């Protein structure tokens, strides 16, 4: 009995002498690999936070500086919110990618250190990824569409857009869902993968269009002169002065109907201000025509 215990102890000691240093060395390497992975992930995430910080009207986050930006300065305070949301969204994606890449490399290193061949596991993961991809095609489509939309800055918070399924003001932009509120106050949640076209009324400039109905007996030359004078006076005063960025144009007769004629006046304005300018300009032009004795369509 004593001899058996001595033999087992001797075998254990011999096994530890032969394998102990390698086990300790492998354990230290695995611990160092995991520690390095955690540190690298932490540093990369801190770097991403620094690149996405500092969104303001005058300053863009460093992450967005190489990217094209279509946000009009006329949006004012909404520019800061738009930049911040865009930077946070892209930063969140980069953080996720960083975590997957760093810990994926660390996982492969640990498997190699344990003497396991990572090739079969990677092959199985690839097959599983393909299966999940087929099962979540809509989710992947929404995600990719949201990424390209963010990178290309097709629209952002505060923009007035027509997405096809809904039209309104963008309240939030995500990688899967875009939230907009229409003129009736209804909130619409539109999947990014379902957006086939985007009509943005808040990029660069907008055009205010005012159509004025005239009777058939109206003097078109006099009407054109009156509208030109009244429009120039209107845009030279508040509140239209700060919204218009060019002189108004009287385009002339837009259409002819059995009831009468339609004269069109246009003016280039700040993004998103076309509807307010149209209402204010119409309120100035209609009385000017009446005061000049020009017949309006009943």
Among the candidates 200, 217, 251, a domain finishes at 200
Residue 99 has pLDDT above 60, yes or no: yes
For residues 170 and 229, membership in a common domain is answered with no
- Banded pLDDT at 62 (limits 50, 70, 90): low
Q: Does residue 166 lie within any of the structural domains?
A: yes
Indicate if the pLDDT at residue 58 is higher than 80.
no
Question: pLDDT at position 74, please?
Answer: 47
Question: Distances from the Cα of 153 to the Cαs of 30, 99, 189, 203, 214, in angstroms?
Answer: 43, 25, 19, 10, 43
- pLDDT for 13 equals 61
214 domain-assigned = yes
Higher pLDDT, 11 or 248: 248
Structural domain count, the chain: 2
Q: Which of the two residues, 150 and 86, has the higher pLDDT score?
A: 150
User: In this structure, are 239 and 187 located in the same domain?
Assistant: no
Examine the domain organization and report whether 229 and 277 are in the same domain.
yes
Per-residue pLDDT band for 2 (boundaries 50, 70, 90) equals: very low
Based on the domain organization, do 244 and 267 belong to the same domain? yes
Mean pLDDT of 111-139: 68
Answer with the one of 178, 200, 222 that is the final residue of a domain: 200
Across the range 168-187, mean pLDDT stands at: 85
Average pLDDT of the chain is 77
Identify the domain containing residue 238 by its residue range: 206-292
pLDDT for residue 189: 92
- Let me know the angle formed at the C-alpha of 163 by 161 and 165, rounded to the nearest 5 degrees: 130
Mean pLDDT for 228-251 is 86
pLDDT band (50, 70, 90) for residue 67: very low
| Structural domain includes residue 83 | no
The answer on 211 and 195 residing in a single domain is no
| Phi, psi of 215, rounded to the nearest 5 degrees | -75, 165
> Domain boundary at 174, 200, 226, which?
200
According to the model, what pLDDT value does residue 289 have?
A: 86
The reply to whether 210 falls in a domain is yes
Residue 39 has pLDDT above 90, yes or no: yes
pLDDT at 43: 92
Q: Is the confidence at residue 68, as pLDDT, over 60? A: no
Q: What pLDDT is attached to residue 296? A: 78
Q: Say if residue 17's pLDDT is above 70.
A: no
pLDDT of residue 3: 47
Residue 262 lies in a domain: yes
- Residue of higher predicted confidence among 281 and 97: 281
CATH number of domain containing 267: 3.30.70.100
pLDDT score for 133: 62
Q: Is the pLDDT of residue 57 over 50?
A: no
Model confidence at 215, pLDDT cuts 50, 70, 90, reads: confident
Is 129 a domain residue?
no
């Amino acid at each position: 009995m004593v001899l058996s215990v001595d033999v087992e102890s001797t075998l254990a000691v011999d096994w530890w002498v032969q394998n102990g240093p390698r086990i300790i060395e492998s354990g230290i390497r695995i611990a160092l690999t995991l520690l390095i992975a955690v540190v690298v992930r932490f540093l990369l995430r801190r770097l991403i936070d620094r690149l996405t910080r500092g969104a303001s009207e005058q300053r863009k986050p460093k992450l967005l500086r190489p990217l094209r930006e279509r946000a009009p300065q006329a949006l004012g305070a909404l520019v800061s919110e738009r930049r911040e949301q865009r930077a946070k969204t892209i930063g969140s994606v980069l953080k996720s990618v960083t975590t997957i890449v760093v810990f994926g490399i660390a996982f492969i290193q640990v498997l190699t250190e344990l003497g396991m061949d990572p090739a079969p596991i990677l092959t199985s993961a690839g097959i599983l990824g393909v299966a999940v991809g087929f099962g979540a095609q809509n989710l992947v489509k929404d995600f990719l569409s949201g990424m390209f939309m963010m990178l290309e800055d097709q629209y952002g918070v505060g923009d007035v857009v027509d997405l096809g399924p809904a039209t309104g003001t963008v309240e939030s932009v995500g990688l899967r869902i875009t939230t907009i509120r229409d003129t009736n106050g209804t909130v619409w949640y539109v999947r990014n993968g379902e957006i086939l076209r985007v009509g943005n009324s808040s990029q660069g400039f907008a055009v205010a269009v005012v159509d004025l109905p005239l009777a058939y007996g109206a003097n078109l030359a006099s009407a054109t002169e009156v509208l030109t004078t009244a429009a120039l006076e209107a845009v030279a005063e508040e509140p239209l002065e700060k919204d218009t960025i060019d002189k108004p144009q009287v385009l002339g007769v837009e259409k002819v109907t059995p009831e009468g004629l339609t004269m069109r006046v246009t003016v280039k304005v700040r993004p998103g201000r076309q509807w307010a300018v149209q209402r204010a300009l119409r309120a100035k032009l209609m009385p000017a025509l009446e005061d000049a004795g020009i017949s309006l369509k009943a």
